A and B are shown apart, each in its own frame.
Chain A
């Protein structure tokens, strides 16, 4: 079951919904493109006009601060106009269906939806239903996929450990409910990682988890052996009160990452976490803030990777590597100040504000 829905007739990225079905070369292209954006953040003018005149709607049916902010920053740095819609507290609670919300926004001539939704398959549904000129980026759907998170993690890994084929990666925590885990596993396997291991109690693992292409361990101390990359997952607080786990303290005792346990992994292992962190639940503060942690690097990289994906989906990405260093274009200061104020009219602009 490949997902051709994501690619246009020329095989280029149209929507970004899941890692599944995307080739190694396409994932590498995303990483390479992100590379050319990565240096930009340190420049004084953090903007390029690649998506100038385009309107991007952040459609968040589920609350999120970090993901929405990095998507917003990525879009503004590409000079797009961004509308944030927090639908968790607006239209759908008034009985408007998902489809009606999409249709209404389409009527406002937008170019891209960045979608987060509590149900698996929501981004697919929107991509299938929406007008053909609109691109859909999945910012997390239910327990299914969070492909931009996976790509920013691949980007972070590649910066520090460029050879995927020698990597052993452990993903620890609530795999069952984690869209991040599913996308990470697919990305790592597509990029040819030597081993992906999941470590969790059975209650937090989906049925037939090995069919995703992973080895399984229920024991953190055994599971961390020979590991190069330790990926911690967030444990949702509400899971604690269900029958999935006995208690926070028992979970931390068994699966919490401490300095001591980290020593079992390779000495140069890096520690990742998609955030937000539950300190003292899945990870000890000393590890989260320690020298092996790359958690904040993940956050910064999120912007470059999302810029790359958005530009590629809109078919405006520069060829990988050809972009570094170019950050001001004559006349672009105009776009800069416009978006900063958020109020603007450009001739021909359909005007969403």
Chain B
């Protein structure tokens, strides 16, 4: 299958390309982004006039549910959402049911991915058995089975000695630790940011320190153990400062932020509306500004969706008893573009945060339109308005506070390994 994408504005941050031109694809690979290869006879021509052609997006934190949680969503429903969002590679968090702590579960996920016809699902293996935080998982076996990293999702590691051992073991096998910093005890079963809104509504709350203390501890252990660490879903100002300092000091760490944290704050929460129940919680305007700034200066290098589709029942109830998380794959592009129109970041930076940078975190040969790379391409119309409604929304989870809103910017084509997996 040969594809010629022409007339589009190609933005490929890794190769420092931003110009109108053509992309040539053959055999699932990028062949050229400059000259037409000799004798190239495309089977398909995609006219990308007035559209942007960029590397397919790489999402560092996704839940596709399925297996024990198929009432919430299935691989089938969610890969359609991913394709519609321009996401061509995604990382599955290990807190599936059952937990990804054995090679058998990894194999099962590969099978589900194959059946859903979406091969580029990378699995984050559990750092500890059953994610219980007490015993190390068989990390080497998990790596050999295909896990790209290890992590403990949103579950706590029981104590720092266990975390140290786990990081030493991961480092021995050159495994990346994907760590969502949160001190379980300080979090105190909270469901909202410890600020004026939680105080007014009497909601059990989580201080920033629950995140920053866990972050600081893990940074110390990164230095002690030499483990590569990527910090996920940062939510507050002091976390950005800590990562900035750690990088300046020379630690090899990276960080991402969820797309909704860059837009929503505690003040956006409608009273007891469970659509806003998310972990880490929505914080303050100052935190949001720092997260955006952190992205602009490169302290935070990636944006993730932290996609968590839920069934309706999970969100029906009194706020504290509802399940946290937002369905957010399909918001990824329009909300990133909103950061650009608000001058928080440049378009090139925004695309890099969704492609080249997460590829670097995962050490993947993708996230760029480099000849020879897998032809993972996203084509989007940055001016196209669309409403989030049941007609347009692909994810089975409709748990988004943006429901009903009209957003600007929509993916028109998604190519995964040279195959068109989404066409508007």
Contacts and interface: CB of A to CB of B under 8 A. Distances in A.
Interface in A98-156: 98-99, 117, 119-122, 124-125, 129, 141-145
Given A5-B271, A97-B317, A99-B316, 8 more contacts: A1-B271, A98-B318, A120-B201, A120-B272, A121-B272, A125-B319, A144-B202, A212-B200
Contacts of B320: 119-121, 142
A155 B317 CA distance: 33
B199 A206 contact: yes
A186 to B, nearest CB: 9
Contact of A182 (B202, B313, B316): B202
Given A211-B200, A212-B200, A98 B317 contact: yes
A127 B318 CA distance: 11
Interface in B21-68: none
B271 A124 contact: yes
B119 interface: no
A3 B203 CA distance: 17
A99 B199 contact: no
A122 B201 CA distance: 11
A120 B271 CA distance: 10
A4 B198 CA distance: 19
Interface in A201-247: 206-209, 211-212
B156 interface: no
B202 A179 contact: yes
Interface size, B (range):
20 to 34
Contacts of A124: 271-272, 318
A20 B318 contact: no
B423 to A, nearest CB: 39
A189 to B, nearest CB: 12
B226 interface: no
Contacts of B198: 206-207
B224 interface: no
9 contacts: A1-B270, A97-B313, A117-B318, A119-B317, A120-B319, A125-B318, A129-B316, A143-B202, A145-B202
A109 B270 CA distance: 30
Interface of A: 1, 3, 5, 20, 97-99, 117, 119-122, 124-125, 129, 141-145, 179, 182, 206-209, 211-212
B316 A209 contact: no
B196 interface: yes
Contact of A120 (B195, B196, B202): B202
B182 to A, nearest CB: 17
Contacts of A99: 316-317
Contacts of B195: 207-208
B207 interface: yes
A144 B202 CA distance: 4
A20 B320 CA distance: 20
Given A3-B271, A120-B272, A207-B207, A212 B199 contact: yes
A1 B273 CA distance: 12
Contacts of B327: none
A144 to B, nearest CB: 4
A179 B318 CA distance: 15
B205 interface: yes
Contacts of A1: 270-271
Nearest to B316: A99
B194 interface: yes
A273 to B, nearest CB: 20
B321 interface: yes
Interface in B200-222: 200-205, 207
Given A1-B271, A119-B320, A120-B318, A20 B203 contact: no
A207 B207 CA distance: 9
Nearest to A205: B199
Q: Which of B200, B205, B270, B320 has its CB near the most chain A CB atoms (within 10 A)?
A: B200
A1 to B, nearest CB: 6
A206 B201 CA distance: 11
3 shortest interchain CB distances as A-B pairs: A143-B202, A121-B272, A144-B202
B123 to A, nearest CB: 33
Contacts of B196: 208, 211
Given A121-B201, A207-B198, A141 B317 contact: no
Nearest to A124: B272
A121 B199 contact: no
A5 B319 CA distance: 16
B312 to A, nearest CB: 10
A20 B200 contact: yes
A94 to B, nearest CB: 16
A121 B318 contact: yes
A264 B196 CA distance: 32
Contacts of A120: 201-204, 272, 318-320
Interface string B258-297: 0000000000001110000000000000000000000000
B199 A144 contact: no
Contacts of B317: 97-99, 119, 125
B98 to A, nearest CB: 23
Contacts of B313: 97
Contacts of A121: 201, 203, 271-272, 318-320
A182 B313 CA distance: 29
A208 B270 CA distance: 19
Given A1-B270, A97-B313, A124-B272, A142 B200 contact: no
Contacts of A97: 313, 316-317
B112 to A, nearest CB: 29
A116 B102 CA distance: 45
Interface string B240-274: 00000000000000000000000000000011100
A143 B203 contact: yes
Nearest to B203: A120
Nearest to A98: B317
Nearest to B312: A99
Contacts of B205: 206-207
Contacts of A208: 195-196, 199
Interface in B162-201: 194-196, 198-201
Contacts of A122: 318
A117 B321 CA distance: 12
Given A120-B320, A122-B318, A208-B195, A142 B271 contact: no
B373 to A, nearest CB: 48
Given A1-B271, A3-B271, A207 B199 contact: yes
Contacts of A141: 202, 318
Q: Which of B194, B195, B203, B271 has its CB near the most chain A CB atoms (within 10 A)?
A: B271
Nearest to A2: B271
A182 B199 CA distance: 9
Nearest to B319: A121
Contacts of B204: 120, 143
